[in-house]
């Protein structure tokens, strides 16, 4: 019988090699796995990578810009505990023009000087650009809206623009129509937003959620906020503690996540999150928010004005039935346990960071 040193690991059954590759929690391990030999490489194709969970993308200050990237960009894998350094291979795209929003289905998004939105996959160096936009974006203020499982291949992109210097947060959004190869421009008031199946959703804390047809710009619905967000009494503690609302597409369902946080004198550990599901099939035909306490096998990830959801897996460094969020202004990661209502700091080597979902 052959010893372990003598065993030819390339002779493992291809089905077993593929099964092992699908269990790898980190893309870096997957890439190293494929490099072992030709048999392992052919049994673990790039077109079928393992299910991935987000990395933390390091941010740092540069003069007036509080969130920007480096030429040698660093990432932290919560799953493996590894810090990765991936350099940009040339001077483009301009790091000053990085579009806020963090994770965008494997790609980083950049706003070039000619109002052209470009995309770069830092792992593969794959890049492409969309046609010039119909209007300029405010410098440093636009961000991307998560548009589903694979928006890049579908060329389904929403760019949200907001003038952060104005107290009423005037802004708008641009939807790229891949069929007509053009941008659809829309003005409006918004705070948080998401996109799902041709519809653009926009909302503000304590305010109704507006639902637009992304192509025609027609306002389809104005949905009242969840009851626990409505200000019924000026002395209502939850009302004045409300910090943010998020709209998240989670496994084909629209969720509204309300974050109630204490005053500046209180710690972030006092935070409370309420989750509501958007119900379109009501008796009177009017969509409404329904409070829920169970998100199934999903993990929610929140960052500034934006959120997304991924399917949970065991032994990945992330806990199930939880909300992972980035603390505004400080850009540090925390985890909220939905079942216990407790908050914990997520270990991370970066002072400032946001979420990035890696992919090939």
Measure the CA–CA gap between 202 and 212, rounded to whole angstroms.
8
2-29 pLDDT, tens digit each: 555 666 777 788 888 888 877 777 777 7
Q: Tell me the three state secondary structure of residue 33.
A: helix
- Rounded to 10 deg, the angle between the 27-34 and 14-22 helix axes is 160
How far does Cα 249 stand from its chain's mean position?
10
Measure the CA–CA gap between 122 and 31, rounded to whole angstroms.
14
- The residues that bridge with 326 in the sheet, in sequence order, are 333
Mean confidence (pLDDT) of the chain:
77
Provide the Cα torsion 351, 194, 203, 356; round to 10°.
0
Measure the CA–CA gap between 59 and 353, rounded to whole angstroms.
5
Residue 167: pLDDT over 60 = no
pLDDT at 276: 94
Angle CA(323)–CA(326)–CA(332) in degrees, nearest 5? 125
Q: Where are the domains of the chain?
A: 1-50, 130-347
Residue 152: pLDDT over 70 = no
Count of CA atoms in the C-beta half-sphere (13 A) of 232:
7
Structure-model confidence comparison of residues 288 and 64, the more confident one: 288
Measure the CA–CA gap between 336 and 9, rounded to whole angstroms.
42
Which whole number is the average pLDDT over 283-290?
87
What predicted TM-score, i.e. pTM, was given to this entire model? 0.85
Which whole number is the average pLDDT over 297-306?
85
Bridge-based pairing state of the strands 157-162 and 143-145: antiparallel
211-234 pLDDT, tens digit each: 988 888 899 999 999 887 766 555
Measure the CA–CA gap between 255 and 295, rounded to whole angstroms.
10
Q: State the sign of the Cα–Cα–Cα–Cα dihedral 76, 118, 151, 222.
A: positive
Residue 140: pLDDT over 50 = no
Q: Show the tokens assigned to 173.
A: 């959004």
Contact 73, 85 (CB under 8 A): yes
- The residues that bridge with 209 in the sheet, in sequence order, are 223
62-111 pLDDT, tens digit each: 665 556 788 888 999 888 888 988 888 765 556 667 776 545 567 888 77
Which whole number is the average pLDDT over 268-278?
89
Measure the CA–CA gap between 111 and 129, rounded to whole angstroms.
10
Measure the CA–CA gap between 151 and 158, rounded to whole angstroms.
10
- The residues that bridge with 93 in the sheet, in sequence order, are none
Residue 273: pLDDT over 60 = yes
């Amino acid at each position: 019988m052959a010893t372990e040193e003598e065993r030819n690991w390339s002779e493992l059954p291809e089905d077993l090699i593929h099964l092992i590759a699908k269990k790898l929690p980190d893309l870096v391990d997957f890439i190293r796995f494929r490099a072992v030999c030709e048999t392992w490489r052919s049994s673990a194709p790039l077109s079928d990578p393992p299910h991935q969970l987000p990395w933390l993308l390091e941010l740092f200050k540069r003069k007036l810009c509080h969130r920007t990237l480096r030429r040698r960009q660093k990432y932290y894998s919560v799953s493996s505990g590894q810090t990765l350094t991936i350099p940009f291979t040339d001077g483009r795209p301009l790091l000053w023009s990085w579009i806020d929003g963090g994770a965008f289905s494997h790609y980083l998004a950049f706003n070039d000087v000619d109002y052209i939105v470009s995309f770069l996959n830092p792992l593969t160096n794959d890049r492409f650009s969309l046609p010039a936009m119909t209007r300029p974006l405010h410098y440093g203020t636009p961000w991307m809206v998560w548009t589903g499982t694979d928006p890049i291949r579908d060329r389904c992109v929403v760019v949200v623009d907001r003038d952060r210097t104005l107290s009423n947060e005037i802004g708008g959004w641009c939807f790229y129509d891949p069929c007509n190869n053009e941008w659809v421009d829309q003005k409006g008031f918004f705070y948080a937003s998401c996109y799902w199946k041709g519809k653009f959703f926009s909302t503000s804390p304590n305010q109704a959620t507006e639902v637009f047809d992304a192509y025609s710009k027609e306002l389809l619905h104005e949905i009242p906020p969840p009851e626990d967000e409505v200000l019924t009494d000026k002395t209502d503690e939850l009302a004045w503690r409300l910090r943010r609302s998020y709209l998240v597409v989670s496994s084909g369902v629209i969720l509204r996540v309300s974050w109630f946080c204490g005053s500046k004198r209180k710690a972030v550990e006092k935070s409370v999150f309420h989750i509501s599901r958007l119900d379109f099939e009501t008796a009177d035909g009017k969509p409404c928010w329904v409070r829920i306490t169970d998100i199934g096998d999903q993990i929610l990830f929140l960052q500034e004005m934006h959120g997304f959801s991924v399917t949970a897996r065991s032994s990945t460094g992330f806990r199930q039935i939880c909300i992972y969020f980035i603390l505004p202004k400080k850009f540090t990661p925390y985890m909220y346990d939905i079942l216990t209502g407790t908050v914990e700091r997520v270990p991370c080597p970066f002072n400032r960071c946001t979420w990035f979902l890696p992919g090939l």
